[in-house]
Structure 1
Amino acid sequence: MRFPVSFLQAALPLLLILAGPADAREWNVVKSSGTIIAATEGGFQPFNYYEGAKLTGFEVELGEAIARKLGLKLEWKVVPFDAQLAALQQDRFDFAIASHGYTEERAKSVDFANPHYCTGGQIAARAAGPLTVTALSGKTVGVQLATSYADAAKKINGIKEIKTYKGDPEAFSALRAKKVEAWISDKFTVKATLDKNPKAGIVAGDLVFVERVSMILRKNNKELADKLNQALADLMKDGTYRALSEKYFKEDISCRS
Protein backbone atom coordinates (compact mmCIF):
# COMPACT_ATOMS: atom_id res chain seq x y z
CA MET A 1 0.00 0.00 0.00
CA ARG A 2 2.88 2.44 0.75
CA PHE A 3 5.23 3.21 -2.12
CA PRO A 4 8.88 3.20 -0.96
CA VAL A 5 10.30 6.72 -0.93
CA SER A 6 13.94 7.51 -1.59
CA PHE A 7 16.39 8.13 1.21
CA LEU A 8 16.35 11.86 0.49
CA GLN A 9 12.55 11.97 0.55
CA ALA A 10 12.52 10.16 3.87
CA ALA A 11 15.30 12.29 5.37
CA LEU A 12 14.02 15.68 4.20
CA PRO A 13 11.39 16.21 6.94
CA LEU A 14 13.93 15.59 9.69
CA LEU A 15 16.45 17.90 8.03
CA LEU A 16 13.79 20.61 7.78
CA ILE A 17 12.89 20.27 11.45
CA LEU A 18 16.53 20.38 12.55
CA ALA A 19 17.17 23.47 10.47
CA GLY A 20 15.38 25.73 12.94
CA PRO A 21 12.26 27.88 12.65
CA ALA A 22 11.19 29.49 9.39
CA ASP A 23 9.11 32.64 8.94
CA ALA A 24 5.37 32.19 9.47
CA ARG A 25 3.17 32.88 6.45
CA GLU A 26 -0.03 34.83 6.86
CA TRP A 27 -2.67 34.79 4.10
CA ASN A 28 -1.42 38.00 2.45
CA VAL A 29 2.08 36.52 2.19
CA VAL A 30 0.77 33.25 0.77
CA LYS A 31 -1.41 35.10 -1.74
CA SER A 32 1.36 37.42 -2.92
CA SER A 33 3.73 34.45 -3.37
CA GLY A 34 1.27 32.69 -5.67
CA THR A 35 1.99 29.32 -4.01
CA ILE A 36 0.56 27.60 -0.96
CA ILE A 37 2.67 24.90 0.72
CA ALA A 38 0.90 21.80 2.02
CA ALA A 39 2.10 18.69 3.80
CA THR A 40 0.77 15.16 3.60
CA GLU A 41 2.05 11.73 4.58
CA GLY A 42 2.15 9.88 1.27
CA GLY A 43 1.48 6.49 2.87
CA PHE A 44 -2.19 6.44 3.90
CA GLN A 45 -4.19 4.88 1.09
CA PRO A 46 -6.67 5.89 -0.24
CA PHE A 47 -6.24 9.37 1.24
CA ASN A 48 -2.63 10.21 0.39
CA TYR A 49 -0.22 7.75 -1.20
CA TYR A 50 2.08 7.07 -4.15
CA GLU A 51 1.20 5.41 -7.43
CA GLY A 52 4.68 4.83 -8.78
CA ALA A 53 6.36 8.22 -8.40
CA LYS A 54 3.08 10.15 -8.41
CA LEU A 55 1.59 11.47 -5.17
CA THR A 56 -2.19 10.99 -5.28
CA GLY A 57 -5.25 10.12 -3.22
CA PHE A 58 -8.48 11.73 -2.05
CA GLU A 59 -6.76 14.31 0.17
CA VAL A 60 -4.08 15.06 -2.41
CA GLU A 61 -6.66 15.77 -5.10
CA LEU A 62 -8.81 17.71 -2.63
CA GLY A 63 -5.81 19.80 -1.55
CA GLU A 64 -5.01 20.59 -5.17
CA ALA A 65 -8.64 21.59 -5.81
CA ILE A 66 -8.56 23.89 -2.76
CA ALA A 67 -5.41 25.57 -4.08
CA ARG A 68 -7.08 26.12 -7.46
CA LYS A 69 -10.11 27.68 -5.74
CA LEU A 70 -7.72 30.06 -4.00
CA GLY A 71 -6.03 30.89 -7.31
CA LEU A 72 -2.73 29.45 -6.12
CA LYS A 73 -0.20 26.83 -7.14
CA LEU A 74 0.34 24.06 -4.61
CA GLU A 75 3.74 22.81 -3.42
CA TRP A 76 3.70 19.46 -1.61
CA LYS A 77 5.90 18.45 1.32
CA VAL A 78 5.83 14.73 2.15
CA VAL A 79 6.31 14.51 5.93
CA PRO A 80 5.90 11.49 8.25
CA PHE A 81 2.59 11.70 10.09
CA ASP A 82 4.17 11.75 13.55
CA ALA A 83 6.44 14.69 12.57
CA GLN A 84 3.78 16.93 11.07
CA LEU A 85 2.62 18.82 14.16
CA ALA A 86 6.16 19.79 15.12
CA ALA A 87 7.02 20.80 11.56
CA LEU A 88 3.86 22.87 11.28
CA GLN A 89 4.66 24.69 14.52
CA GLN A 90 8.01 25.56 12.94
CA ASP A 91 6.20 26.92 9.86
CA ARG A 92 7.66 24.40 7.42
CA PHE A 93 4.41 24.54 5.42
CA ASP A 94 1.15 26.47 5.47
CA PHE A 95 -1.22 23.62 6.28
CA ALA A 96 -1.37 19.83 6.35
CA ILE A 97 -4.05 17.63 4.85
CA ALA A 98 -3.19 14.17 6.16
CA SER A 99 -6.23 12.71 7.93
CA HIS A 100 -5.81 14.45 11.28
CA GLY A 101 -8.78 13.60 13.44
CA TYR A 102 -9.72 16.28 15.95
CA THR A 103 -8.50 15.69 19.50
CA GLU A 104 -8.27 18.12 22.40
CA GLU A 105 -4.57 17.28 22.76
CA ARG A 106 -3.78 18.14 19.13
CA ALA A 107 -5.85 21.31 19.38
CA LYS A 108 -3.42 22.58 22.01
CA SER A 109 -0.70 22.68 19.34
CA VAL A 110 -2.48 23.47 16.07
CA ASP A 111 -5.76 24.82 14.74
CA PHE A 112 -8.22 22.66 12.82
CA ALA A 113 -10.07 23.74 9.70
CA ASN A 114 -13.64 22.59 9.13
CA PRO A 115 -13.78 18.80 8.68
CA HIS A 116 -13.32 17.48 5.16
CA TYR A 117 -14.58 13.99 6.00
CA CYS A 118 -16.01 11.88 8.78
CA THR A 119 -14.86 8.38 9.54
CA GLY A 120 -14.11 6.12 12.49
CA GLY A 121 -11.54 3.81 13.99
CA GLN A 122 -12.32 0.22 12.99
CA ILE A 123 -11.12 -3.15 14.22
CA ALA A 124 -9.78 -5.68 11.72
CA ALA A 125 -8.87 -9.26 12.61
CA ARG A 126 -9.12 -12.82 11.39
CA ALA A 127 -12.67 -14.12 11.04
CA ALA A 128 -12.36 -16.08 14.30
CA GLY A 129 -10.48 -13.26 16.01
CA PRO A 130 -11.48 -10.28 18.19
CA LEU A 131 -13.90 -8.17 16.12
CA THR A 132 -15.60 -6.25 18.94
CA VAL A 133 -14.25 -3.89 21.59
CA THR A 134 -15.11 -6.41 24.32
CA ALA A 135 -13.30 -9.19 22.45
CA LEU A 136 -10.05 -7.16 22.46
CA SER A 137 -9.63 -7.97 26.16
CA GLY A 138 -6.47 -10.02 26.62
CA LYS A 139 -5.39 -9.51 23.00
CA THR A 140 -2.42 -7.85 21.26
CA VAL A 141 -3.40 -4.94 19.01
CA GLY A 142 -1.42 -3.19 16.25
CA VAL A 143 -1.80 0.53 15.47
CA GLN A 144 0.08 3.27 13.63
CA LEU A 145 2.30 5.40 15.87
CA ALA A 146 1.03 8.84 16.98
CA THR A 147 -2.51 8.41 15.62
CA SER A 148 -5.94 8.79 17.18
CA TYR A 149 -6.29 5.02 16.68
CA ALA A 150 -3.33 4.48 18.99
CA ASP A 151 -4.90 6.85 21.52
CA ALA A 152 -8.22 5.01 21.28
CA ALA A 153 -6.57 1.64 21.82
CA LYS A 154 -4.99 2.91 25.03
CA LYS A 155 -8.44 3.69 26.39
CA ILE A 156 -9.84 0.20 25.81
CA ASN A 157 -9.84 -1.79 29.02
CA GLY A 158 -8.19 -5.18 29.09
CA ILE A 159 -5.98 -5.06 26.00
CA LYS A 160 -2.93 -7.19 26.71
CA GLU A 161 -0.44 -5.22 24.58
CA ILE A 162 -0.48 -2.38 22.04
CA LYS A 163 2.20 -2.59 19.37
CA THR A 164 2.93 0.56 17.37
CA TYR A 165 4.14 0.64 13.78
CA LYS A 166 5.47 3.27 11.40
CA GLY A 167 2.38 3.00 9.21
CA ASP A 168 -0.75 1.01 8.55
CA PRO A 169 0.90 -1.24 5.95
CA GLU A 170 3.30 -2.43 8.63
CA ALA A 171 0.48 -2.92 11.15
CA PHE A 172 -1.53 -4.90 8.60
CA SER A 173 1.52 -7.02 7.77
CA ALA A 174 1.94 -7.75 11.48
CA LEU A 175 -1.68 -8.90 11.64
CA ARG A 176 -1.22 -11.18 8.63
CA ALA A 177 1.93 -12.61 10.21
CA LYS A 178 0.03 -13.20 13.50
CA LYS A 179 2.34 -10.87 15.40
CA VAL A 180 -0.79 -9.07 16.60
CA GLU A 181 -4.34 -10.36 16.93
CA ALA A 182 -6.14 -7.22 15.77
CA TRP A 183 -5.45 -3.95 13.96
CA ILE A 184 -7.25 -0.65 14.51
CA SER A 185 -7.25 2.03 11.81
CA ASP A 186 -9.42 4.35 9.75
CA LYS A 187 -12.47 2.47 8.42
CA PHE A 188 -11.79 3.54 4.82
CA THR A 189 -8.16 2.47 5.05
CA VAL A 190 -9.27 -0.89 6.46
CA LYS A 191 -11.74 -1.30 3.59
CA ALA A 192 -9.17 -0.36 0.92
CA THR A 193 -6.60 -2.71 2.45
CA LEU A 194 -8.98 -5.65 2.67
CA ASP A 195 -10.25 -5.03 -0.87
CA LYS A 196 -6.66 -5.27 -2.11
CA ASN A 197 -5.95 -8.38 -0.06
CA PRO A 198 -9.08 -10.56 -0.39
CA LYS A 199 -7.21 -13.80 0.35
CA ALA A 200 -5.56 -12.55 3.56
CA GLY A 201 -8.26 -14.05 5.76
CA ILE A 202 -8.80 -10.69 7.50
CA VAL A 203 -12.24 -9.12 8.00
CA ALA A 204 -13.55 -5.81 9.33
CA GLY A 205 -15.11 -5.62 12.78
CA ASP A 206 -16.77 -2.96 14.92
CA LEU A 207 -16.08 0.77 14.99
CA VAL A 208 -14.21 1.88 18.10
CA PHE A 209 -15.11 5.58 17.72
CA VAL A 210 -16.35 8.17 15.21
CA GLU A 211 -13.91 10.81 14.02
CA ARG A 212 -14.10 14.21 12.30
CA VAL A 213 -11.03 14.81 10.11
CA SER A 214 -9.66 18.22 9.15
CA MET A 215 -6.77 20.12 7.66
CA ILE A 216 -4.48 21.53 10.34
CA LEU A 217 -2.61 24.84 10.37
CA ARG A 218 -0.58 26.99 12.71
CA LYS A 219 -2.52 28.40 15.65
CA ASN A 220 -4.08 31.85 15.30
CA ASN A 221 -3.59 32.02 11.52
CA LYS A 222 -7.28 32.92 11.24
CA GLU A 223 -7.41 34.52 7.80
CA LEU A 224 -5.72 31.54 6.19
CA ALA A 225 -8.09 29.20 8.05
CA ASP A 226 -11.06 31.22 6.77
CA LYS A 227 -9.77 31.00 3.19
CA LEU A 228 -9.27 27.22 3.43
CA ASN A 229 -12.73 26.78 4.94
CA GLN A 230 -14.36 28.91 2.24
CA ALA A 231 -12.56 27.03 -0.55
CA LEU A 232 -13.67 23.70 0.94
CA ALA A 233 -17.27 24.95 1.22
CA ASP A 234 -17.19 26.12 -2.40
CA LEU A 235 -15.96 22.70 -3.56
CA MET A 236 -18.79 21.05 -1.66
CA LYS A 237 -21.30 23.38 -3.35
CA ASP A 238 -20.02 23.03 -6.91
CA GLY A 239 -19.89 19.21 -6.92
CA THR A 240 -16.10 18.85 -6.95
CA TYR A 241 -16.00 17.34 -3.47
CA ARG A 242 -18.76 14.82 -4.20
CA ALA A 243 -17.04 13.74 -7.43
CA LEU A 244 -13.75 13.09 -5.62
CA SER A 245 -15.54 11.29 -2.80
CA GLU A 246 -17.41 9.05 -5.25
CA LYS A 247 -14.17 8.39 -7.15
CA TYR A 248 -12.34 7.06 -4.11
CA PHE A 249 -15.12 5.70 -1.88
CA LYS A 250 -18.26 5.34 -4.05
CA GLU A 251 -20.09 7.44 -1.45
CA ASP A 252 -20.17 10.92 0.05
CA ILE A 253 -17.89 10.85 3.09
CA SER A 254 -18.52 14.45 4.21
CA CYS A 255 -19.73 15.18 7.75
CA ARG A 256 -23.41 15.63 7.06
CA SER A 257 -24.60 15.58 10.65
Structure 2
Amino acid sequence: MNILQTFALVALLCAGATPLAARPLDAVRKDGTLLLATEGQYAPFNYFKDQQLAGFEVEVAELVARKMGLRPQWKALGFDALLTGLQQDRWDVAIASHAITDERAKAVTFTAPHYCSGGTVVSMNPALRSARDLAGKLIAVQTGTTYAAEVRRLPGVKSVKNFPSDSDARSALASRRVDAMVTDRFVAKELLRKSPNAGFHIGDRVTTERIAAAVKLGNTALADAWSQALQAVMDDGSYAQVSQKYFQEDIRCPAQP
Protein backbone atom coordinates (compact mmCIF):
# COMPACT_ATOMS: atom_id res chain seq x y z
CA MET A 1 0.00 0.00 0.00
CA ASN A 2 1.31 3.52 -0.78
CA ILE A 3 0.59 4.70 2.76
CA LEU A 4 3.11 2.14 4.00
CA GLN A 5 5.83 3.67 1.85
CA THR A 6 4.95 7.08 3.20
CA PHE A 7 5.69 5.90 6.72
CA ALA A 8 8.85 3.93 5.95
CA LEU A 9 10.97 6.50 7.78
CA VAL A 10 8.84 6.05 10.89
CA ALA A 11 9.60 2.34 10.84
CA LEU A 12 13.32 3.01 10.60
CA LEU A 13 13.27 5.42 13.49
CA CYS A 14 11.06 3.34 15.76
CA ALA A 15 12.68 -0.01 15.15
CA GLY A 16 16.11 1.02 16.37
CA ALA A 17 19.43 1.74 14.78
CA THR A 18 20.57 -1.84 14.13
CA PRO A 19 18.63 -3.64 11.39
CA LEU A 20 17.99 -7.38 11.60
CA ALA A 21 18.62 -9.65 8.68
CA ALA A 22 15.66 -11.41 7.12
CA ARG A 23 15.41 -14.74 8.88
CA PRO A 24 14.11 -17.98 7.41
CA LEU A 25 12.45 -20.46 9.74
CA ASP A 26 15.66 -22.45 10.37
CA ALA A 27 17.47 -19.30 11.51
CA VAL A 28 14.59 -18.31 13.78
CA ARG A 29 14.55 -21.75 15.38
CA LYS A 30 18.32 -21.73 15.83
CA ASP A 31 18.14 -18.36 17.59
CA GLY A 32 15.18 -19.47 19.69
CA THR A 33 13.53 -16.03 19.66
CA LEU A 34 10.63 -14.85 17.51
CA LEU A 35 10.66 -11.09 16.97
CA LEU A 36 7.08 -9.82 16.94
CA ALA A 37 5.79 -6.34 16.09
CA THR A 38 2.44 -4.76 16.93
CA GLU A 39 0.88 -1.34 17.37
CA GLY A 40 0.07 -1.26 21.08
CA GLN A 41 -2.74 1.25 20.63
CA TYR A 42 -5.67 -0.91 19.57
CA ALA A 43 -7.44 -2.26 22.64
CA PRO A 44 -8.55 -4.94 23.27
CA PHE A 45 -6.31 -6.52 20.62
CA ASN A 46 -2.98 -4.89 21.42
CA TYR A 47 -2.34 -2.14 23.98
CA PHE A 48 -0.13 -1.14 26.88
CA LYS A 49 -1.13 -1.95 30.45
CA ASP A 50 1.27 -0.78 33.16
CA GLN A 51 3.93 -0.27 30.46
CA GLN A 52 3.56 -3.88 29.31
CA LEU A 53 2.00 -5.02 26.05
CA ALA A 54 -1.32 -6.75 26.60
CA GLY A 55 -4.38 -7.76 24.63
CA PHE A 56 -5.93 -10.62 22.73
CA GLU A 57 -3.42 -10.61 19.88
CA VAL A 58 -0.48 -10.30 22.25
CA GLU A 59 -1.60 -13.32 24.27
CA VAL A 60 -2.44 -15.39 21.19
CA ALA A 61 0.90 -14.53 19.56
CA GLU A 62 2.79 -15.57 22.69
CA LEU A 63 0.88 -18.86 22.81
CA VAL A 64 1.74 -19.49 19.16
CA ALA A 65 5.41 -18.57 19.63
CA ARG A 66 5.75 -20.92 22.58
CA LYS A 67 3.94 -23.68 20.70
CA MET A 68 6.65 -23.21 18.05
CA GLY A 69 9.26 -23.63 20.78
CA LEU A 70 10.31 -19.97 20.57
CA ARG A 71 10.61 -17.06 23.00
CA PRO A 72 8.45 -14.08 21.96
CA GLN A 73 10.16 -10.69 21.84
CA TRP A 74 8.08 -7.57 21.13
CA LYS A 75 8.43 -4.24 19.38
CA ALA A 76 5.61 -1.65 19.30
CA LEU A 77 5.29 1.15 16.78
CA GLY A 78 2.82 2.95 14.50
CA PHE A 79 0.39 0.77 12.55
CA ASP A 80 1.48 2.08 9.16
CA ALA A 81 5.11 1.07 9.76
CA LEU A 82 4.40 -2.56 10.65
CA LEU A 83 4.20 -4.13 7.19
CA THR A 84 6.96 -1.87 5.90
CA GLY A 85 9.15 -3.21 8.70
CA LEU A 86 8.64 -6.75 7.41
CA GLN A 87 9.81 -5.66 3.97
CA GLN A 88 12.86 -4.05 5.56
CA ASP A 89 13.70 -7.15 7.65
CA ARG A 90 13.11 -5.44 10.98
CA TRP A 91 11.09 -8.25 12.62
CA ASP A 92 9.83 -11.73 11.85
CA VAL A 93 6.06 -11.36 12.32
CA ALA A 94 3.65 -8.42 12.44
CA ILE A 95 0.38 -9.00 14.26
CA ALA A 96 -1.91 -6.00 14.63
CA SER A 97 -5.37 -6.76 13.26
CA HIS A 98 -4.35 -6.61 9.59
CA ALA A 99 -7.20 -7.70 7.36
CA ILE A 100 -6.18 -9.99 4.51
CA THR A 101 -6.53 -8.06 1.24
CA ASP A 102 -5.27 -8.66 -2.30
CA GLU A 103 -3.28 -5.42 -2.15
CA ARG A 104 -1.51 -6.29 1.10
CA ALA A 105 -0.87 -9.84 -0.13
CA LYS A 106 1.30 -8.36 -2.89
CA ALA A 107 3.60 -6.93 -0.21
CA VAL A 108 3.61 -9.57 2.57
CA THR A 109 2.76 -13.22 3.14
CA PHE A 110 -0.18 -13.80 5.46
CA THR A 111 -0.56 -16.63 7.93
CA ALA A 112 -3.84 -18.39 8.63
CA PRO A 113 -6.34 -15.91 10.15
CA HIS A 114 -6.53 -15.70 13.94
CA TYR A 115 -9.96 -14.04 14.00
CA CYS A 116 -12.77 -12.73 11.81
CA SER A 117 -14.44 -9.36 12.26
CA GLY A 118 -15.44 -6.30 10.25
CA GLY A 119 -15.81 -2.54 10.20
CA THR A 120 -18.68 -1.25 12.34
CA VAL A 121 -20.37 2.14 12.45
CA VAL A 122 -19.87 4.16 15.65
CA SER A 123 -21.60 7.52 16.08
CA MET A 124 -22.93 10.01 18.59
CA ASN A 125 -26.29 9.88 16.82
CA PRO A 126 -28.29 6.66 17.26
CA ALA A 127 -29.96 7.31 13.91
CA LEU A 128 -26.64 6.65 12.12
CA ARG A 129 -26.52 2.86 12.12
CA SER A 130 -26.27 1.39 8.65
CA ALA A 131 -24.22 1.95 5.50
CA ARG A 132 -27.23 3.75 4.03
CA ASP A 133 -27.27 6.19 6.96
CA LEU A 134 -23.71 7.32 6.14
CA ALA A 135 -24.79 8.99 2.90
CA GLY A 136 -23.83 12.68 2.96
CA LYS A 137 -21.73 12.24 6.12
CA LEU A 138 -18.09 12.80 7.07
CA ILE A 139 -16.63 9.51 8.32
CA ALA A 140 -13.45 9.01 10.39
CA VAL A 141 -11.13 6.01 9.96
CA GLN A 142 -7.63 5.13 11.09
CA THR A 143 -4.90 5.69 8.51
CA GLY A 144 -3.58 2.51 6.95
CA THR A 145 -6.63 0.38 7.73
CA THR A 146 -8.85 -1.14 5.07
CA TYR A 147 -11.81 0.92 6.25
CA ALA A 148 -10.98 4.04 4.24
CA ALA A 149 -11.33 2.27 0.90
CA GLU A 150 -14.34 0.26 2.07
CA VAL A 151 -16.19 3.34 3.34
CA ARG A 152 -15.47 5.27 0.14
CA ARG A 153 -17.25 2.52 -1.76
CA LEU A 154 -20.43 2.99 0.24
CA PRO A 155 -23.09 4.90 -1.71
CA GLY A 156 -23.31 8.63 -1.04
CA VAL A 157 -20.61 9.02 1.62
CA LYS A 158 -19.60 12.69 1.62
CA SER A 159 -15.97 12.31 2.71
CA VAL A 160 -13.57 10.04 4.60
CA LYS A 161 -11.09 11.61 7.02
CA ASN A 162 -7.99 9.68 8.09
CA PHE A 163 -6.52 9.86 11.59
CA PRO A 164 -3.16 8.48 12.82
CA SER A 165 -4.76 6.17 15.39
CA ASP A 166 -8.13 4.74 16.26
CA SER A 167 -8.19 6.86 19.43
CA ASP A 168 -7.64 10.02 17.35
CA ALA A 169 -10.62 9.10 15.18
CA ARG A 170 -12.65 8.48 18.33
CA SER A 171 -11.70 11.89 19.73
CA ALA A 172 -12.81 13.54 16.50
CA LEU A 173 -16.14 11.76 16.79
CA ALA A 174 -16.58 12.69 20.47
CA SER A 175 -15.95 16.36 19.62
CA ARG A 176 -18.35 16.05 16.65
CA ARG A 177 -15.73 17.03 14.08
CA VAL A 178 -16.96 14.03 12.11
CA ASP A 179 -20.41 12.45 11.87
CA ALA A 180 -19.36 8.85 12.49
CA MET A 181 -16.39 6.52 12.50
CA VAL A 182 -15.85 3.00 11.24
CA THR A 183 -13.72 0.69 13.36
CA ASP A 184 -13.44 -2.97 14.23
CA ARG A 185 -16.63 -4.33 15.77
CA PHE A 186 -14.81 -5.70 18.83
CA VAL A 187 -12.99 -2.41 19.36
CA ALA A 188 -16.38 -0.71 19.18
CA LYS A 189 -17.82 -3.09 21.78
CA GLU A 190 -14.85 -2.44 24.06
CA LEU A 191 -15.32 1.32 23.65
CA LEU A 192 -18.94 1.06 24.72
CA ARG A 193 -18.02 -1.14 27.67
CA LYS A 194 -15.34 1.24 28.91
CA SER A 195 -17.26 4.46 28.24
CA PRO A 196 -20.96 3.63 28.65
CA ASN A 197 -21.90 7.26 29.39
CA ALA A 198 -19.82 8.93 26.66
CA GLY A 199 -22.69 9.01 24.18
CA PHE A 200 -21.29 6.54 21.65
CA HIS A 201 -23.72 4.34 19.71
CA ILE A 202 -22.75 1.17 17.86
CA GLY A 203 -24.43 0.53 14.55
CA ASP A 204 -24.20 -2.19 11.92
CA ARG A 205 -21.18 -3.97 10.54
CA VAL A 206 -20.45 -2.62 7.06
CA THR A 207 -17.49 -4.87 6.12
CA THR A 208 -16.45 -8.47 6.83
CA GLU A 209 -12.77 -9.31 7.17
CA ARG A 210 -10.38 -12.18 7.94
CA ILE A 211 -7.56 -10.97 10.20
CA ALA A 212 -4.10 -12.55 10.13
CA ALA A 213 -0.48 -12.11 11.14
CA ALA A 214 2.02 -11.37 8.37
CA VAL A 215 5.62 -12.28 7.54
CA LYS A 216 7.97 -11.04 4.85
CA LEU A 217 6.76 -11.77 1.32
CA GLY A 218 7.81 -15.26 0.33
CA ASN A 219 8.75 -16.46 3.83
CA THR A 220 6.22 -19.27 3.49
CA ALA A 221 8.05 -21.70 5.80
CA LEU A 222 7.70 -19.29 8.71
CA ALA A 223 4.08 -18.50 7.79
CA ASP A 224 3.23 -22.22 7.60
CA ALA A 225 4.92 -22.94 10.94
CA TRP A 226 2.97 -20.10 12.56
CA SER A 227 -0.29 -21.33 11.04
CA GLN A 228 0.31 -24.88 12.25
CA ALA A 229 1.08 -23.64 15.77
CA LEU A 230 -1.99 -21.40 15.69
CA GLN A 231 -4.15 -24.39 14.79
CA ALA A 232 -2.60 -26.35 17.65
CA VAL A 233 -3.42 -23.50 20.04
CA MET A 234 -6.99 -23.52 18.76
CA ASP A 235 -7.22 -27.28 19.14
CA ASP A 236 -5.88 -27.44 22.70
CA GLY A 237 -8.42 -24.94 24.06
CA SER A 238 -5.98 -22.16 24.98
CA TYR A 239 -7.15 -19.91 22.13
CA ALA A 240 -10.76 -20.21 23.30
CA GLN A 241 -9.76 -19.26 26.84
CA VAL A 242 -8.06 -16.07 25.67
CA SER A 243 -10.96 -15.23 23.36
CA GLN A 244 -13.49 -15.69 26.15
CA LYS A 245 -11.36 -13.53 28.45
CA TYR A 246 -11.48 -10.56 26.09
CA PHE A 247 -14.75 -10.99 24.18
CA GLN A 248 -16.92 -13.50 26.05
CA GLU A 249 -17.12 -15.44 22.80
CA ASP A 250 -14.92 -17.42 20.44
CA ILE A 251 -13.95 -15.09 17.58
CA ARG A 252 -12.07 -17.54 15.35
CA CYS A 253 -13.14 -17.62 11.70
CA PRO A 254 -15.72 -20.22 10.71
CA ALA A 255 -14.35 -23.19 8.81
CA GLN A 256 -14.07 -22.59 5.07
CA PRO A 257 -16.40 -24.79 3.01
TM-score, structure 2 length as denominator? 0.92
- Give the Cα–Cα distance (whole angstroms) in 2 for the partners of residues 20 and 217 of structure 1: 19
Contact 2:57–2:96 (Cα < 8 Å) also in 1 = yes
Provide Cα deviations, 1:199-256, integer angstroms capped at 9, x if missing partner: 1111111111111000001111111111101100100110000000000000000002
Contact 1:16–1:92 (Cα < 8 Å) also in 2 = no
Give the aligned residue type for 1:73.
R
Structure 1 residue aligned with 2:172: 174
What SS does structure 2 have at the residue aligned with 1:209? coil
Structure 2 residue aligned with 1:230: 228
Distance 1:16 1:80, change over 3 A: closer
Aligned equivalent of 2:55, options 49, 54, 57: 57
Structure 1 residue aligned with 2:195: 197
Aligned equivalent of 1:145, options 136, 143, 147: 143
Contact 2:111–2:212 (Cα < 8 Å) also in 1 = yes
- Give the Cα–Cα distance (whole angstroms) in 2 for the partners of residues 232 and 205 of structure 1: 31
What SS does structure 2 have at the residue aligned with 1:214? strand
Q: Give the stretch that moved more between structures: 128-137 or 70-79.
A: 128-137
Contact 2:22–2:89 (Cα < 8 Å) also in 1 = yes
- Give the Cα–Cα distance (whole angstroms) in 2 for the partners of residues 45 and 83 of structure 1: 18
Structure 2 residue aligned with 1:84: 82
Contact 1:13–1:78 (Cα < 8 Å) also in 2 = no
Q: Give the stretch that moved more between structures: 119-128 or 68-77.
A: 119-128
TM-score, structure 1 length as denominator? 0.92
1:122 aligns with 2:120: yes
Contact 1:109–1:219 (Cα < 8 Å) also in 2 = yes
Distance 1:45 1:36, change over 3 A: same
Contact 2:137–2:179 (Cα < 8 Å) also in 1 = yes
Report the Cα offset of residue 17 of structure 1. Answer: 6.6
Structure 2 residue aligned with 1:4: none
Structure 1 residue aligned with 2:109: 111
Structure 2 residue aligned with 1:8: none
What SS does structure 2 have at the residue aligned with 1:150? helix
Distance 1:209 1:228, change over 3 A: same
Report the Cα offset of residue 194 of structure 1. Answer: 1.2
- Give the Cα–Cα distance (whole angstroms) in 1 for the partners of residues 10 and 140 of structure 2: 27
RMSD of Structure 2 on Structure 1 (CA): 1.7
Provide Cα deviations, 1:117-149, integer angstroms capped at 9, x if missing partner: 000110011244421111111101011001011
Give the unaligned 5+ runs of structure 1.
Answer: 1-10
1:38 aligns with 2:36: yes
Provide Cα deviations, 1:3-30, integer angstroms capped at 9, x if missing partner: xxxxxxxx98332679696421000100
Distance 1:12 1:210, change over 3 A: closer
Provide Cα deviations, 1:32-64, integer angstroms capped at 9, x if missing partner: 001010100000000000112111000001111
